Structures are given as structure tokens and as C-alpha cells.
Structure 1
Amino acid sequence: MISFASFPVQPDRGDARHSPDGEEPMDLDDDDFEAGGSKITWPGESITSSQAYMRGHGTYVENEEVVASVAGTIERVNKLVTVRAIRTKYNPEVGDLVVGRITEVQPRRWKVDANSRQDAVLMLSSVNLPGGVQRRKLESDELQMRNFFEEGDLLVAEVQAFFGDGTMSLHTRSLRYGKLRNGQLVTIPPILVRRLKSHFTTLPCGIDLILGLNGYIWVSKHVKESEQEGEEGFDAEAVYSNRNDFIDDSTRIAISRVANIIRVLASHFVPLTADILLEAYEWTVENDADARSLLSEEVGDALVATVAARA
């Protein structure tokens, strides 16, 4: 996970440059980045000497110093220094898993809000349709597009490619992708979602999580893999249904609790991982903290302090 370490204080040196507010700029330590840590900075803070490093996005040069222009985490690639803003739109890459919402149905395609700078596109040829995964799309399929996805529907998909104008093209050709039901959506800053080996997680409390790299998190009741995957064909009525399954009270409470845990951790800029979410959930059970009480400042601060101490 990202460790939010304070910047080390540099010893006094006769030839040291000073930032405009009288404080010495910090020098980037190679060991900090090799250890996987990230440093938080804020606008106007001097990061390092422009003679030793090159400025990247989120920085500018002033008085021979590289200065942060946004609040975020410092990242370094060789001699290039950038600042990744905490509050920013999602910057997609091919292969990313994203959660999105259908905003418009167009001829042979759907427009999808994926929390990026522009809506993504899901082509009719890039989804699973009744009759087999790889079958040819017909004119009758185009006439029934709203039976598959319509405005307001939520879905999980993978970034397949980019068009010439930078719009990302999505696909849902795996049965793990497609329409989402039986849960609720939580929105957090995309910077708090790390690229993991798998973004599908199941908590022991019977809750499934989909950690979208675009900052959209789906929290839902657990569905067994045997119910999701099939052989050659699949039950289109179940896959594209708009009806939620029956959800018992205990599962509803667990969904609400996990969703509020995510909101609390995000409000304190704690990066999300399956281990952190599990520890946070166990803490709420041990302390009998229900979904509503988690949103109080006192309980939220205690939860974050406990998770940070165990990390």
C-alpha cells in the first residue's frame, strides 16, 4: 500500500537553495522510491533541484527548483519527477478493469460514464449475446440493444483499445463482466485504487467487491462462480436482467457496512486493498459499529487509526 511518509528534514548546507517561504527544498531519496513509498506534496512546495531532475506533469520550475503545482503524490521514473494529483479524472490503460454506467444507447454502441475525461464506448460487437459467446451480431440484435443495456444500467468491463480521439473502447466478452445487480456503487478518487492481480474480491462476510481502477467500487452480495460461468452459451435472461435477487437482511447490513467502510477510508485517503478492507470490517464487528455509526467522525477516525497501526 502507499505509505504517506513525511518529508525528511535536510541538514543545513551553505550552498543549499531555499524555497520562497524560507524552507529548504527536499531532495528526493532513491531509497524512498525503491522501498515503494510515496510522498505527499502540496501546491507551491519545492521538491528538488531542477539541475538534478527533470520536471514532469504536476510540476513547474521556479528559481532552479522543481515545484509542485497540485496536491498529490510524488512519483519518479529515473530523473523525471511528476506529481500525481489526488483529485483527478481516471487515466485509462489497455487491460484496466472499470465499472461504468450507461449514459446513452446509440446505433451498434453504448456510451458509458467511466469517470474519465470523456465517455467510453461499448460496441455491440464487444458484448456477449444469446446463442454463444463468439456468434455474429445480427440486425435483430441491434433492434434489441435496450434489452441488454439501457440508460442507467451499471456494468463492469475491460478497456480493450482507444479510438483516434482518445475515447476508450470497452468489452464484456468474459462472463465475469457485464451488467451489475444486487449491490450498490461507491465512488472514490481513482488514485486510491491500486493495480492488482485481481480486482474481484470476496470478503468472508459474504460480500463481493469489484475494485474498478476508475474509482467506481461495486459492493454486492456474493455469487458463486458456478452461477456466473457456463459452457458455450449462457442464460441471457439472468445475465441481462434488471431485477435484483432476494437479499436477506444480514447481507443488506453487510453491504451497507462495507460501503461505508470504503467511504471512510477514502475520506482519509487510505488506499484500498482486500487485506485492509477485511481488517476494517473485522474491527467494525469487534466494536459493534453499525453502518450509520461509521459515518460519525469519532468512529471513523478510530477505524482509520486502527487500520493504519496494523498496516
Structure 2
Amino acid sequence: MSEVKVKNHEIVIPGDILAEGTLKYGEGVIRRGNLYYSTIVGLFQDKGDFIQVKALKGKYIPRPGDLVIGKVIEVGLTNWIVDVGSPYMAVLSANNATEKRFDPVKDDARRIFNVGDIILTKIISFDRTRDPQIITNERGLGKLRSGRLVEIEAAHIPRVIGKKGTMINMVKRLTRTQIITGQNGRIWVQGKKVEDELKAIETIKKIELEAHTQGLTDRIREMLSNGQEENEV
């Protein structure tokens, strides 16, 4: 016989007793004897015979295959050091940056990416024994231009995206913007009008703030739909 001690979607902290008995458990949960404890600050999720805690805060830890938005902080002869919002700086080597052959004698790395550039990139390897390796030489990756960067907790990115992309697609449509979400908590917003970009950013921040609440999709839809009606008056 198992007993869950906290409500579904309740915020818990390290040391909170979550359940007692025999259950399957995932991230953010540790078992001691017959009791299950939270190991992080997060949102408790009860899925019947499976429990877990989704982190609400914490630094992004790179994983191979992750699409992330980075900031170039240093340019070398044949590589770039990129801040991806992690405790570990990422390294972009010249052969992973462009499809063209790079000659450090003739070519200037700063003409490809310079300090301060915001880039869309992908993690290709990381094992904590060496810094993450990233690439920009695949289709759709590279320097991001004419837009605005917003940063949220990486743990909230799935909520911003929503199931099958429902939340992010709704925000794009109702704010008339293009939005790129990085799995490291960075989001790029681009619209034809400044007010559209600012509305999208305001919406993203609201989703982050209320990520743990129910009925959020309906509230966001109502907020954006009302805003559209006011603009049309």
C-alpha cells in the first residue's frame, strides 16, 4: 500500500517527504527505506504509480543534441568560447562553425562570429571531463539578428513550449512574432513591430512566473486575445 503525502503540482523543497510505500520514481526524488524525499526545489508530479519533482531553478547542464542560444565571449585563432548559460563554457571550433574550409593564416575568426554575437547552436558532446563542444554548421544554426533575447529558468522551457508546441505556437500567432526557444533557458523573439516583441516577452515572463499553476494556457490565450481586440479598436 502506497500513500502520497503532497498534492500533485505542489511546490516542494529538499527534504520534504513526498510519499510512503512502493512507487516508481524519477528525477528530484530519493528513497530512504519506505519513504520518498525531494532532493530539489521543484514541482511535485504524481502520475499514479510514478512520482518525480521537476526543478524550478538551477543552472542548465548541457546534453548532446540540445539546441541552445549562446553568447560569444572570446575569439581565438581557430575557435570561439561561448556562454550557453551553464557552469561550463562551450567551445566552437572552426571546423564546426562553417562548411567552408577555415585557414587561420588567411581567415579572421572575427569575421564569422565576434564577441557579443548571439548564436543559435547545438551541443554535440559533453561529459563533464571537458567543456561542451558545439556546432553552427547545420541548417538553421548560426548568428541571430534583429531580435530580442529573453532569459528564463531552463526548467521552465517545456512549459513555455507546451504539449506538442501548443503554448509557444499560440504565443507566436497572437503576438505576430517568430520565437526560437533554446533548451538552456534563452529565447529569441523577432517581430515586425517593437510592441509585438515586447508583448511576446511579457507573455513568456508570465508563463515562467505561473508555470506551476493550472489553467495557464487559457489565461494566456485570454490575455493575448484581449490585447488583440484592443489594438483593433
TM range (shorter): 0.7 to 0.9
**Which residues of structure 2 form unaligned runs of 5+?**
none
1:65 maps to 35
Corresponding letter in the other structure for 1:218: W
Partner SS state of residue 22, structure 2? coil
2:16 maps to 45
1:157 maps to 121
Q: Is the 8 A contact 2:9 2:212 kept in 1?
A: no
Do the aligned partners of residues 277 and 16 (structure 1) sit closer, same or farther apart at CA in structure 2, a change above 3 Å counting?
closer
Whether 1:203 aligns to 2:173 is yes
Whether 1:262 aligns to 2:204 is yes
1:74-223 equivalences in 2 (<5 Å): 74=44, 82-128=52-98, 133=99, 135-140=100-105, 143-162=107-126, 165-194=129-158, 202-203=172-173, 205-221=175-191
TM-score (norm 2): 0.76
Aligned equivalent of 2:227, options 255, 270, 284: 284
**Which residues of structure 1 form unaligned runs of 5+?**
1-14, 18-23, 28-37, 223-250, 289-311
Structure 1 position 260, deviation (Å): 1.3
Give the distance between the partners of 1:164 and 1:70, measured in 2 at CA.
Answer: 21
Do the aligned partners of residues 280 and 157 (structure 1) sit closer, same or farther apart at CA in structure 2, a change above 3 Å counting?
farther
Larger radius of gyration: 1
Identity %: 23
Partner SS state of residue 10, structure 2? strand
Partner SS state of residue 126, structure 1? helix
**Structure of greater relative contact order (alpha carbons < 8 Å, 6+ residues apart):** 2
1:98-120 CA deviation, whole Å, 9 max, x = no partner?
11111111231111111122111
Structure 1 position 197, deviation (Å): 7.0
Corresponding letter in the other structure for 1:263: K
Do the aligned partners of residues 127 and 204 (structure 1) sit closer, same or farther apart at CA in structure 2, a change above 3 Å counting?
farther
Partner SS state of residue 255, structure 1? helix
1:14-65 CA deviation, whole Å, 9 max, x = no partner?
x998xxxxxx7259xxxxxxxxxx733412431122x514776534456741
RMSD: 3.6
Partner SS state of residue 39, structure 1? coil
Q: Is the 8 A contact 2:96 2:137 kept in 1?
A: yes
Give the distance between the partners of 2:63 and 2:227, measured in 1 at CA.
Answer: 35
Structure 1 position 74, deviation (Å): 3.8
